[in-house]
């Protein structure tokens, strides 16, 4: 059985790919949410290809979903990685979106399949999106850390740098595989506030999307996402204003610019702010 299932092979102009994976790489759904926002802006977009899950997922860890279809039949939805073509006829290049879940097995083989699909439709530039939980304040601009096969990209787009060494996710493996395949790759990572880690963060989504489209040289309408980010900020600010402890904690984060703040204080406040945001839904 073929690992990649093709629906069509789109003809695209100098396409750039934006890639995000749910899971370890996706704090506050910031990366997958940015890709999902683009998909929502274009109606009736269907994948032109998917990577089938059999070889790459442990179904006891990530079980498929069952749904009741027409006539009472039961349908199974499996975790796939999907590729979408977004023509941008009024711009100089088209867009490919890749969205799925981080696989459990055979990462080298998996990333090779991703690259094969991208190269088959002419992609020579890949931008991966990720997000991590950090001790940062929501009141400050979202920090975006960047790594690129061309270091000049990091400097040109004023990305923050990191000397992190340690465990990595599928995006890290994909970036290395892209470099080995001669594909220009940029990895963008948004830092999301620890005390908002259980909530989708549209402000981080917007920051990733804005930086990614700038680097890609394309324009996408992010008005609705900007509105969501503003509303989210307002709700968080209301929670902060209603709690002197939360307010003190956020001010300490602002003053230390993300330097270590005792985690015990943050842990005591997480439940409080999460409950406030849930009650506002």
Question: Which phi and psi (to 5°) does residue 266 adopt?
Answer: -65, -45
Q: Where are the domains of the chain?
A: 4-220
DSSP letter (8 states) at residue 143: P
pLDDT, tens only, 6-60: 999 999 999 999 999 999 999 999 999 999 999 999 988 999 999 998 999 888 8
* Gap between the Cα atoms of 279 and 97, Å rounded: 34
Give CA angle at 153 (212, 119), nearest 5°: 65
| pLDDT at residue 229 in the model | 96
Sequence-separated contacts (24+) of 62-68 with Cβ below 8 Å: 62/101, 62/104
Least confident of 9-18, 66-75, 195-204, 253-262: 253-262
Contact 110, 116 (CB under 8 A): no
What CATH number belongs to 4-220?
A: 3.40.50.10900
Tokens of 53: 């899950």
* Gap between the Cα atoms of 127 and 134, Å rounded: 22
Entry pTM:
0.89
């Amino acid at each position: 059985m073929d690992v990649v299932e093709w629906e069509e092979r789109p003809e695209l102009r100098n396409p750039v790919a934006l890639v995000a994976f749910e899971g370890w790489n996706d704090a506050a759904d910031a990366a997958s949410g940015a890709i999902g926002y683009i998909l929502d802006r274009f109606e009736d977009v269907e994948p032109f290809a998917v990577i089938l899950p059999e070889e790459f997922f442990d179904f006891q860890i990530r079980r498929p979903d069952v749904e009741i279809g027409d006539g009472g039949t039961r349908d199974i939805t499996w975790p796939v990685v999907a590729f979408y073509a977004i023509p941008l006829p009024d711009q100089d290049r088209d867009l490919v979106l890749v969205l799925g879940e981080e696989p459990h097995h055979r990462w080298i083989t998996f990333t090779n399949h991703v690259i094969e699909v991208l190269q088959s439709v002419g992609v020579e530039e890949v931008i991966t999106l990720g997000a991590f939980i950090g001790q940062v304040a929501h009141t400050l601009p979202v920090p975006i850390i960047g790594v690129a096969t061309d270091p000049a990209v990091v400097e040109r787009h004023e990305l923050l740098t990191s000397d992190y060494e340690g465990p990595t996710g599928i995006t890290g493996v994909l970036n290395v595989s892209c470099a080995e395949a001669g594909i220009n790759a940029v990895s963008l990572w948004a830092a999301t506030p620890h005390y908002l880690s259980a909530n989708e963060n549209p402000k981080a989504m917007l920051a990733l999307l804005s930086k990614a489209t700038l680097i890609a040289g394309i324009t996408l309408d992010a008005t609705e996402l900007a509105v969501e980010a503003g509303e989210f900020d307002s709700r968080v600010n209301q929670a902060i204003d209603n709690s002197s402890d939360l307010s003190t904690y956020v001010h300490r984060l602002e003053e230390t610019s993300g330097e270590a703040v005792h985690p015990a204080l943050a842990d005591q406040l997480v439940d409080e702010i999460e409950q406030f945001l849930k009650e506002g839904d």
